[in-house]
Amino acid sequence: MTSRAPSSAAAAGPGPERQVALVDLLDRVLAGGVVISGEVVLGIADVDLVRISLRALVASIRAVQEDEPASAPFAETDPR
Amino acid sequence: MNDLVWIYAVTTGPGPPEAAGLSGVAAEPVRAVEGEGGGEGLTAVVGTVPAADFAEDPLKDHLEDLRWLEAAARAHHEVIDTVFRHGDTVPLQFATVYRDDDSVRAVLRERSADFTGALARVHGQEEWGVKAYMDPGGGPEASGGPAPSGGPGGGAAGASGADSRPGTAYLLRRRAQRDDREQAFQRARGRAEDVRGVLESLATRGVAHPPQDPKLAAYQGWMILNDSFLVERDRAEEFAAAVTSCAEDFPEVELELSGPWPPYSFVGEVEGRRA
């Protein structure tokens, strides 16, 4: 994907990325898109993709940084 | 076992000619399946994938392998993004797999009203992602004096500050820290609403994703916003400029814009997500 955003907007963040960030991609590809329930021939429609892939993500992170304590994300206290 | 059919997206008309040169999640050539009967005018962009990797059980195993997942998610997105650049597109959720082309044509026919409605809703629009970060310790109040009574919530601590018992002092200090944190939290939430309000005024719709894990997304502090906005294509520059001015108006907030994305976050309710 090429960003059409003016460079000034990109400069507001941590930095423009040539490749789409994986976390942003997974937010959309796994949790978004049309879900066709009941018609998919295979049972995949019943698989919780977000949870299953989160396990993969967490496992890979854990392998890299075992020692760091988890800091509480904003989400934990945010009722939204 | 036979081959299976992975669906990437549904679009209108004959589909993008450049889809012919694309490869998909199994490095397979991507192709078009045109709707018939009630599904006429709709095209599914699909690929034939081996059942050995994409039947239910092997697919579940692959999904827990981050390297596989990343490669497949990027391939899925690459196809959808190409189709999206060609015209209005409804992305399918990752891992929508059918037995054969006839099943695909059947779903185009039976769900044609849903797909047509979704295509109309995203017509001429694209998705933009906005993330906002804030340092919990930042802000004018939190960085004030060392006294716990410095903040508006510190009155109780100040009143009994003469108490010299160490246990009490400890509890007061803890309470002051908690109050500071609570204030920072409320401030962050207020800022998130400020930014959201500005951006929603330029968007057709907005949707909030859960904040990302700090380790996965590699950030510090709080992710106070992880939203997607559906924006008309000819307002995209205006939208990006609004993000820039939000960053100027709220210097304590760090903003990050991504896009344009295909409208992943604005088609999911079409089929009625399982309750």
Best to test chain A binding among B4, B256, B265, B273 (most A CBs inside 10 Å): B256
Strands (E) across B147-221 are located at: 205-208
Contact A12 B73 (CB under 8 A): no
Mean pLDDT of B11-17: 79
Phi, psi (5° rounding) for residue B269?
-80, -5
Mean pLDDT of B92-114: 91
pLDDT band for position B164 (cuts 50, 70, 90): low
Domain shared by B139 and B117, yes or no: no
- The CA distance from B247 to B31, in Å, is 43
pLDDT (tens digit, 9 = 90+) per residue, A12-24? 334 344 578 888 9
For residue B271, being part of any structural domain is answered with no
Q: Which amino acid is at B229?
A: F
Domain shared by B182 and B109, yes or no: no
pLDDT of residue A8: 35
pLDDT (tens digit, 9 = 90+) per residue, B203-257? 999 999 989 888 778 888 899 999 999 999 999 999 999 999 999 999 999 999 9
pLDDT (tens digit, 9 = 90+) per residue, B106-131? 999 999 999 999 999 999 999 999 99
pTM for the complete prediction? 0.78
Domain shared by B80 and B169, yes or no: no
Domain shared by B118 and B145, yes or no: no
Q: Containing domain of residue B40, as a range?
A: 3-123
Higher local confidence (pLDDT), B96 or B158? B96
Structure ipTM: 0.80
Domain shared by B133 and B260, yes or no: yes
Please give the residue of chain B at the shortest CA–CA distance from A8. Answer: B244
The residue written with tokens 């939208």 in the block is: B239
Domain shared by B33 and B133, yes or no: no
Contact B76 A34 (CB under 8 A): no
Domain shared by B78 and B148, yes or no: no
Best to test chain B binding among A74, A76, A77, A78 (most B CBs inside 10 Å): A74
Contact B93 A57 (CB under 8 A): no
Domain shared by B154 and B224, yes or no: yes
Contact B93 A30 (CB under 8 A): yes
- The CA distance from B243 to B164, in Å, is 50
The residue written with tokens 């037995």 in the block is: B99
Domain shared by B74 and B180, yes or no: no
Domain shared by B150 and B67, yes or no: no
Question: Cis omega (within 30 of 0) on the bond before B50?
Answer: no
Q: Of B58, B93, B123, at which residue does a domain stop?
A: B123
Q: Which of B88, B113, B63, B62 is nearest to B9 (CA)?
A: B88
Domain shared by B17 and B113, yes or no: yes
Please give the residue of chain A at the shortest CA–CA distance from B243. Answer: A9
Q: By three-state DSSP, how is residue A49 classified?
A: helix
Contact B255 A12 (CB under 8 A): yes
Residue B260 sits at the chain A interface (C-beta within 8 Å): yes
Strand partners, B33: B44
Structure tokens that stand for B250 in this block: 């709220």
Structure tokens that stand for A13 in this block: 């963040």
